[in-house]
Amino acid sequence: MKNKVLFIVTIVVVFLLGLLASSIINRKSEAKYKYVPQVDIGENEVKNEVWGENYPKEYQSWLQTSESSFASYQGGSAMRDMLEEDPRLVVLWAGYGFAKDYNQGRGHYYAVEDIHNSLRTGGPKGPGDGPMPATCWTCKSPDVPRLMDENGIAEFYSGKWADKGPEVTNPIGCADCHDPKSMKLHITRPALVEAFDAMGRDINKATHQEMRSLVCAQCHVEYYFNKDLPGKEGIPYLVFPWKDGMSVEEMEGYYDDLGFSDWTHKISRAPMLKAQHPGYETYLTGVHADRGVSCADCHMPYKSEGGQKFTDHHLQSPLNNIANSCQVCHRQEAAKLMENVYERQRKTTENRLKLEDLLVRTHIEAGKAWELGATEEQMKEILIDIRHAQWRWDYAAAAHGASFHSPVETARVIGGGMNIAQEARIKLARLLADLGHNEPVPVPDITTKRKAQEFIGLDMEQLTQEKEEFKKTLLPKWLKEVQAREIHADEEEVSMNKK
């Protein structure tokens, strides 16, 4: 009996000791968990490193978008001077900013730095100065949704690029794609929401898989600045021209109906359209989109580290990561898949370059016709042809990755462009003959970027000087203002915490 009682008491004591031990262990691990710096991410938190405190793996991989050493046949993150590689572009863009400077896109990390350095943004001397509107910041930074939230959307699009220089400083990051509270993917750019509205669709009904592409469609799309929106006249308001559809013909029809042009060509005087980068639109016409493969599936594949699976935020050319980007679905060797991509790109390039040659000729022949006294009436149809042909070329060329994302559609668009350019040249040959010129119009030597820029009359020395001046004077001022603002914000936070 005595033994029995002792036995029960022992069991109870052991049980209680066990409880105590487990509670101590729990407390300890709680304490350890609490020790992890957990920050409360504010509604308008723009600093990627702050988000990074909560999500170190995603942040660390995002930081890798600063790598710029990978070069593939056509893409990659390495700096490439596209005008040097293909000086024809200078002639195609005569009279437009892209003829001054056009480099291969780099990682998101550089979005702000690269637009500071581009000759296209000129050398503003202060607020209200320079060639570009504030709207040009829209696809560069999470400061954009912050400013739109603080001051209003139309207010953000108002004024010059230089006006917002001290405000837009953090490169594309977490707040561009994520809701800070739920971390769900969300759309921060009103232009995409408005474009869906215009198509009679509700972007809030997009599926999770669609969102994995739509976050990219905030920026990797065709767009223009509409200065005639009712109630917002004069403000270069960002619009995606999707109301009638996203194909090359539908967007062209939209612009034609509007009588919109981005610029007047310096040589041919054609009312030109600049395709921006209709990456999302062209992707939608490809087989991967058809099978429900999203941008993130290839450009942000899953990755494992220390037994933890997460989304690789090193957005880059998937050819630098074929194992994770392609081989989760395809069983072929990496070299084979690479060759599949290159083959599509090479074949597309073959005809794209032929179309470029044709376009260079049409501009120069049209210039000759003006020189010989052609009338507006005689030139009208020809100039529309040039507009349409070059729009097709640009739609195919500027949609980075399109020759892989959708090779058949891209080939169709380039084929259409070649046909229209040839039509223009037949009309030009007749007109030139009528004007007494019955022989080929010579194309000057445009074999280097410098020669081509000279030919179209760009004063590169002055443009470069203005840029250097900007980098020496105004840019450091912007960076100082940012520093001052951030120190002030930190102090405010500290004083709030003290309260």
- Give the residues lining the site for ligand HEC (CB under 6 A): 48, 51-52, 55, 58-59, 62, 72, 74-77, 105-108, 110-111, 114, 139-140, 172-174, 176-178, 183, 185, 212-213, 215-216, 218-220, 279-280, 283, 287-288, 291, 293, 295-300, 310-311, 313, 315-319, 325-326, 328-330, 337, 340-341, 400-401, 404-405, 407
Positive or negative, the Cα torsion across 335, 279, 390, 287?
A: positive
Q: Cβ of residue 216: shortest distance to ligand HEC, in angstroms?
A: 3
Q: Please say which residue, 351 or 419, places its beta carbon nearer to ligand HEC.
A: 351
Q: Cβ of residue 189: shortest distance to ligand HEC, in angstroms?
A: 7
Q: Please say which residue, 60 or 264, places its beta carbon nearer to ligand HEC.
A: 60
The residue type of 404 is F
What token pair was written down for 284? 């939608």
What token pair was written down for 97? 């900013």
Q: Please say which residue, 195 or 358, places its beta carbon nearer to ligand HEC.
A: 195
CA distances from 162 to 126, 244, 372, 470 (A): 6, 34, 42, 10
Q: Cβ of residue 381: shortest distance to ligand HEC, in angstroms?
A: 35
How far is 118 from 133, CA to CA, in rounded Å?
14
Q: Please say which residue, 382 or 475, places its beta carbon nearer to ligand HEC.
A: 475
How far is 445 from 91, CA to CA, in rounded Å?
11
Q: Please say which residue, 41 or 382, places its beta carbon nearer to ligand HEC.
A: 41
Q: Cβ of residue 492: shortest distance to ligand HEC, in angstroms?
A: 24
How far is 242 from 31, CA to CA, in rounded Å?
54
* CA 188 to chain centroid: 14
Q: Cβ of residue 340: shortest distance to ligand HEC, in angstroms?
A: 4
The answer to whether 262 touches 385, Cβ cutoff 8 Å, is no
Positive or negative, the Cα torsion across 335, 341, 346, 347?
A: positive
Contacts 24+ apart (CB under 8 A), 76-85: 76/104, 76/316, 76/317, 76/319, 76/320, 77/106, 77/107, 77/316, 77/317, 77/320, 78/104, 79/103, 79/104, 79/106, 80/104, 81/449, 83/449, 83/452, 83/453, 84/448, 84/449
Q: Cβ of residue 63: shortest distance to ligand HEC, in angstroms?
A: 8
Q: Cβ of residue 370: shortest distance to ligand HEC, in angstroms?
A: 36
Q: Please say which residue, 195 or 456, places its beta carbon nearer to ligand HEC.
A: 195
Q: Cβ of residue 336: shortest distance to ligand HEC, in angstroms?
A: 9
Per the document, the length of the chain is 499
Q: Please say which residue, 114 or 466, places its beta carbon nearer to ligand HEC.
A: 114
Q: Please say which residue, 146 or 361, places its beta carbon nearer to ligand HEC.
A: 146
Q: Cβ of residue 297: shortest distance to ligand HEC, in angstroms?
A: 5
> Residue 108: which of 225, 192, 219, 274 has the closest Cα?
219
How far is 401 from 342, CA to CA, in rounded Å?
11
